[in-house]
Amino acid sequence: MKLISLAVVAAASQAVSAHYIWSTLIAGSTQSSAAVRQPPTNSPVEAITSGAMTCGASPSPATETVDVAAGSTVSFKLDNTVYHPGPAAVYLGQVPTGQTAASWDGSGANWFKIAEWGAQFNPFKFIIEGQGQVTTTIPQATPSGEYLLRVEQIGLHVAGSPQYYISCAQIRVTNGGSGSPTKVSIPGYVSTTDPGLTVNIHFPTPTAYRVPGPAPWTG
């Protein structure tokens, strides 16, 4: 009986250690954890209709808003590496008039995707697996102003039960353009029946894969 109990504890410990947090924003020479709304634990979000899909479950407030020039690169860094197979994406949420990145809760149709990482084939593997950072470019046509920069990675290791690892950082886009991307609400941007979420990645081996959510806007 003791051996069984120890095995259960070991399995639970391994599951927790395989979780991770997008803890740090990198923008040029600036590296900031204070600009990231930090989740209280490394547990994933699983209810895709919940408010936790926006910036995670009950994150602590960020204390900094980082300036990022349109056309420049930004990165999110993990406190671990991507252990669970699945896609990743980065979204920008345009802060509504009268609010700031620090005060906005992320509600409303104000979000647009700017990058995604799907799968490769022969052999099948998700591009982001094993990595500890994602890097993308703020589209040059992004209007100047304050935004939430949101990263998500979706663990698909349990068929039909996707796990979302989410963080939001507070940024201020400078030297922007006049682009007008189509925007979505988060939650609300993906469906529980999306093939990219319901897929069994273990069998049969996928021969195609589409990242859930809208297509990236490149400006």
Which residue, among 90, 151, 88, 74, has the nearest Cα to 117 in the 3D structure?
A: 88
* pLDDT at residue number 96: 98
Which residue, among 69, 77, 72, 71, has the nearest Cα to 31 in the 3D structure?
A: 77
Residues 18-64 have pLDDT tens digits of 899 999 999 999 999 999 999 999 999 999 999 999 999 999 999 99
Model confidence, pTM: 0.92
* pLDDT at residue number 18: 82
CA dist., res. 108 & res. 148, Å (int)? 13
* pLDDT at residue number 17: 57
Half-sphere exposure of 198 (CA within 13 A, CB side): 6
Distance from chain centroid for Cα 17: 19
β-pair type (88-94, 145-155): antiparallel
Q: Cβ contacts of residue 46 below 8 Å, gap of 6+?
A: 161, 162, 163, 164
* pLDDT at residue number 8: 33
Low-confidence ranges of the chain (pLDDT < 70): 1-17
